[in-house]
């Protein structure tokens, strides 16, 4: 018995040491990844305040003149406007289509449901150059009411939705699967129709997932480059496309300013998502008053 107790104590100590080692290794890895991610972000932010005429690091003189230059440039302001309009349109289309597809697949048994889900997710695994070239060739000579689709914001919105919709579908499918079926059945038993149940019961329950998926689609669209490069013209080019063209001709700190603006959009979106999830968790933890 004594020997067994000693052996058990040694095993416990050994297991505890392994757990501490794994925890330390995990923390070090997380810190290294965080530093690796933060370094280019910090450099971009610092460079945007440079007073020089070239995009160089380290910064020797400080100024905000490139921020004034950015917002006084019609070309960059128009590109930012195009990016926002396209991102909003792609987000709306992706959210509507992805949510509808996820609801249909999770609530109805249909033949080939797995194949259909795979087809919806397929654009996520396709290179942007492939999608961009394919869309450009497909709609290159198509006109609607005498207007060319190629080079329009509408075509870029459709293209960005190819990536946004599968992401929304994937997140909303998980949210719909986790719904409490008894609540839906109770709503139906009380006489509520499918539409009323969906808008009054389902949507409030999945509101956080819906907001998160929409913001993820927005972030993907506003930062997308490859498809926009194939599909935009000088009048409809987005900010990432303009940044790439400007970098080839003259790399000024104005590019860093554009990068900071895109970074700010991403960070604000992530903050909204985190706020939504934290608020949802606090709501679920509140005790129910009898």
Distances (CA, A) of 26 to 17, 61, 233, 285: 14, 39, 47, 29
| pLDDT given for residue 92 in this prediction | 94
What's the whole-number average pLDDT of the chain?
A: 82
- For 23-63, the pLDDT digits (tens) are 888 888 888 888 888 888 888 888 888 887 877 777 788 88
Q: Is the pLDDT of residue 179 over 50?
A: yes
Q: Is the pLDDT of residue 94 over 90?
A: yes
| pLDDT given for residue 277 in this prediction | 72
Phi, psi of 60 (to 5 degrees): -100, -25
Largest CA distance in the chain: 92
Quote the strand ranges of 32-96, DSSP E: none
What is the SS3 assignment for 38? helix
Nearest 5°: CA angle at 216, between 219 and 140?
A: 60
Find out whether 163 and 68 touch, Cβ atoms under 8 Å: no
CA distance 162 to 119: 11
Residue bearing the bigger pLDDT, 219 or 205: 219
| pLDDT given for residue 50 in this prediction | 83
How many other CB atoms sit within 10 Å of the CB of residue 103?
18
Using a pLDDT cut of 70, give the percent of the chain over it.
86
Give residue 189's pLDDT band: very low, low, confident or very high (50, 70, 90).
low
| pLDDT given for residue 48 in this prediction | 85
| pLDDT given for residue 16 in this prediction | 67
CA distance 128 to 139: 16
What number is the average pLDDT over the span 182-187? 69
| pLDDT given for residue 38 in this prediction | 84
| pLDDT given for residue 238 in this prediction | 92
| pLDDT given for residue 221 in this prediction | 92
H-helix or E-strand containing 288? none
| pLDDT given for residue 199 in this prediction | 77
CA distance 183 to 100: 20
- The DSSP code for 198 is I
Give residue 286's pLDDT band: very low, low, confident or very high (50, 70, 90).
low
| pLDDT given for residue 82 in this prediction | 93
Give residue 124's pLDDT band: very low, low, confident or very high (50, 70, 90).
confident
Nearest 5°: CA angle at 66, between 59 and 49?
A: 30
């Amino acid at each position: 018995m004594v020997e067994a107790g000693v052996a058990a104590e040694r095993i416990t100590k050994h297991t505890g040491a392994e757990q501490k080692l794994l925890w330390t290794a995990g923390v070090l890895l997380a810190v290294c990844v965080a530093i690796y991610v933060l370094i280019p972000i910090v450099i971009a932010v610092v460079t945007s305040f440079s007073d020089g005429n070239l995009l160089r690091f380290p910064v020797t003189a400080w100024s905000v003149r490139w921020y004034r230059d950015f917002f006084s440039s019609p070309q960059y302001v128009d590109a930012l406007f195009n990016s926002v309009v396209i991102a909003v349109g792609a987000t709306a289309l992706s959210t509507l289509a992805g949510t509808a597809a996820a609801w249909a697949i999770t609530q109805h048994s249909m033949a080939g449901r797995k194949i259909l889900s795979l087809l919806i997710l397929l654009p996520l695994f396709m290179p942007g150059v492939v999608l961009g070239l394919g869309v450009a060739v497909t709609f290159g000579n198509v006109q609607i009411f005498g207007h060319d689709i190629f080079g329009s914001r509408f075509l870029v919105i459709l293209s960005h939705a190819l990536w946004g919709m599968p992401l929304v579908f994937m997140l909303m499918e998980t949210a719909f699967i986790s719904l409490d079926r008894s609540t839906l059945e109770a709503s139906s038993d009380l006489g509520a129709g499918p539409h009323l149940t969906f808008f009054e019961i389902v949507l409030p329950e999945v509101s956080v997932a819906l907001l998160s998926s929409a913001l993820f689609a927005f972030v993907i669209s506003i930062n997308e480059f490859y498809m926009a490069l194939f599909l935009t013209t000088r009048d409809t080019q987005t900010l990432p496309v303009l940044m790439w063209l400007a970098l080839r001709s003259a790399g000024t700190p104005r590019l860093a300013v554009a990068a900071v603006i895109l970074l700010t959009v991403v960070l604000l979106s992530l903050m909204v998502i985190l706020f939504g999830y934290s608020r949802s968790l606090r709501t679920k933890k509140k005790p129910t008053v009898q």
